[in-house]
Copies of this chain bind each other. A is one copy, B any other.
């Protein structure tokens, strides 16, 4: 049976025990990738397979619930739109860049993205859509207001926020995610991430910083 994958607030309908089971599945997913078995999940979570099937329908349902569960855990605090100056705008952008690099280089993100990519080939479920929705698109939703605010305040110049966002995205992520997904060793230290965040932000400001505003390039 297919369970609805469009549910957003699954975190509300899950019991503590179910969350614990999904956490176990998540840990197993990080350790073993997509070849995790129902038996392994049951053993790790100290629950019976019958319970897994009752709760999640089938293997795909469990995978979907696991991905949604992880997604629900990374709800972020909205950015405060208070007094906006160039320094705070820069700090916000660097914060976004740093956070994003930390996310995509985390074991959890890598494992989840790998599973979702693997499932995208045979479009049985929407794992890819879920990951995308809670990753790249969620980032855009959170960042665009900041960009718009920067534009309003005269610090940024762009006609299309989507294009500006994608440029920022490219400057931040570059080849990191695809390399990690393909198994490239690429340990990102906190220092390296911080440096990359600063560099990406500076490059973005160089491209989209207003020449006529309170402060130009």
Chain A residues proximal to chain B, CB less than 8 Å: 32-35, 111, 113-114, 116-118, 120-123, 128-129, 131-132, 136, 166-167, 169-175, 177-179, 181-184, 203, 206-207
Contact = CB atoms under 8 A, between A and B. Distances in A.
A132 B184 contact: yes
A131 B33 CA distance: 19
Contacts of A33: 118, 121-122
Contact of A177 (B111, B172, B178, B183): B178
- Output the residue of A120, A131, A169, A206 with the most chain B CB within 10 A: A120
A22 B178 CA distance: 25
10 contacts: A34-B118, A113-B182, A128-B183, A166-B174, A169-B174, A170-B170, A170-B173, A173-B175, A177-B178, A206-B207
